Structure 1
Amino acid sequence: MGSWYGRTLELEVGPVAHGGHCVSRVEGRVVFVRHALPGERVLAEVTEDKGGAFCRADAVSVLEASARRVEPPCPLAAPGACGGCDWQHADPAYQRELKAAVVAEQLHRVAGIEREVVVEELDGGSLGWRSRVRLVAGKDGRAGLRAHHSHRVVPLDGCPIAVPGALDDVLARRWRPASELEVTADGDGRTHVRELSTVRGKVRARQLTGGVAVQHAAGRDWRLDAHGFWQVHPAAAGTLSAVVGEWAEAPRGGLAWDLYAGVGLFTAVLAGQVGPDGRVLAVESGRRAVNDGERNLAELPQVGWRAGRVEHVLADAPAPVDVVVLDPPRKGAGRAVVDAIAAGTPDRIVYVSCDPATLARDIALFAGHGYGLTALRAFDAFPMTHHVECVALLQ
């Protein structure tokens, strides 16, 4: 069979799949279709075909539209244009339904769990929420975002999902081609800009404005590296810390682990629960984040920080532990970390995840140690994209 690249297919669009596309089938092959919605009939152009059982395509013409289809708020949310958003062509409530279907499907397929999922809206609406954006300068020096699955830079005049005004100065000027620009709008409304450029094979960082961000969550004011990890949606940190606090129930005087701790958002919540006679072990691989965390939580003697890979630190961590909170990167925790957590015999595990596929995989791994999923909440912390934030309680 020859390559289908560039071929136009007439498709009946099937269910949503993880990754911002829907599934269709043609001539015995799976076609992952972007810019389409379940139940639509479209003309789709094949954009990637590496052979095998599937290929990828963009819906370039809608022959029969879903009733939930809307006009995208950004003209660049289109085939061949910006790859930053996945679902601008769906109304926001339907976006949440699609994400809920993905989470439920991953739990069923990977972990064997049947569960109805509701994705909750965060305060602030579906636009103007993105507080951190990483741009790249094209050959003409204009800043933009890359096209989907491409190195091609799509220049921007604005971005409707970014915090209003945050990108204005960066988009108004020209930059060294191929420079990357990190823009952060903090909790006090200040904008921080850093330029990353590669000179003779070495990456050089130049802070242009700001550098130390101020954020507000969990009843505290935080000062941290403006370009380090913090929740992107302004309402996410407060929402997630409240759910973690509700489900962790760390006992007074007890021991808690906060893994992939960042600057200590959940550490602070756990420290308040165990009190001055308890202990919280905060584990984070990023040295700058650990330094920021130690400064922000300096008045809490019950908190002990360890810098390093989680699976290495847990090899000699204090145990048994009462409760474990973990918020791993998109790749999830994995078997080594799951095994190390289970060896600590916690009563409760609160797992914060930005990827439903790796969450489902790790839930299945925890099930092998006798831990079952007893509660799940999902939040639309990344409107217009396919990403979703989940919090799972395992006992």
Structure 2
Amino acid sequence: MARKPVEVYRGLLMVRFDSEAPTRMEAVIGRFSDQDLAGERLSTHLTRFLGLWSRLAAYLASSDVIDLEDLTMSVDVLDYFTSTTKWWTMTRETPWLIMRPPSRDPREFMRSISSLQVDAPTLSRISGATDKLLSFLEEHNLANANGRSELCATIRSAWILLSAFMCKSQGRNITIEEDFEVAYDIVRILLFYISLNDFRSLTAIRTLATNPKLPAAARIGFSPGFEHQLDSSVAARLERLHGGRLAPLLLSAPGSSRTILTNSLRLLGQLQAAEMGLTRIDEEHYDSIIMGAIGTLERTGVSPTLLGDEKAALNLFNRLRPEEGVPELLNLMIRRLEGLIVDSTGNRDFLLQYARLVPRLVALLLLLASGTKISSEYGLQDADLKRGLILFNALLEE
């Protein structure tokens, strides 16, 4: 177990909300205030659900006050469970949030929950688990009676909601005990196993893909002279020499994995040009654009030697060799990014019109993921991809 339950519960009980938290929560869940679930208002369960993961985010970040970032993360957790499927396949052996593309409208899914019945056996199991949790908190003398009662009610609501989500996802309107068993395991995995970066990556992928800087950058073109200089660079030569090592990534990122260095430089150049008000990057801009891109990479922790030193580049390509299952995870992540980009632009043909955007975006994501990887003992892992997402998002928000 990654975290000790007694320490997590103690941390959750110590975290407090700031004065603006109730208003922010109401903006998200107010629309469900007239619906009921398991004898309480659906909005009450949702308030507790958001509160639980906000508390956990603050605790994992070693903070005793929930801020806007924590609350935003909790909303993204709710969206994850209501907009995607197969989350119930998560296990303690594979404790991570898979970035699947949405398969349903989360608001419509939430509205459908009110027609669901949490049956007596399921409620009995939830009540039994709640009593055991209360006994555990009392045994370890955690907080006072009110604090213990509040935490138990909060986790009980998480069990009820996830049981309902599981039931509805299976096409049923009456829960069964197995729904609670899934919910119980998922809550334990989230509380005691999943890393803070896993949670943060949910927010990062959404804010990254919906950042208006991306479509602005996609519209920036390159002159033939600039492209010729880039294709003649040391970075391009290193790609031609060693790009074949990345064959396992070609299935999930065919347009970006062989040209990870130059495609990253192109996107970073487009982002710079958009800020400068340029509509095209000409040959005369080459030196300033490349130096600016290198500076941006350095600020995110990627060494500029990767672009010009063969040994450093070779190490980079070795770190990019994916561990088992990672190509599939990357493919799902790319599909989620594509869907979010299309939704944010409001143009279903946007990625057809600017087909080079996603390959360049993925190239930069992979460069950030591998270029900041400390150990070369393992190849590219899920945690590396999520770190890359977080760094990429931070880069865009500069």
TM-score, L = length of structure 2: 0.27
Q: Which has the higher contact order (CA 8 A, sep 6+)?
A: 2
Larger Rg: 2
* Structure with the bigger percentage of strand: 1
Using the size of structure 1 for normalisation, the TM-score is 0.28
Structure with the higher helix share, 1 or 2:
2
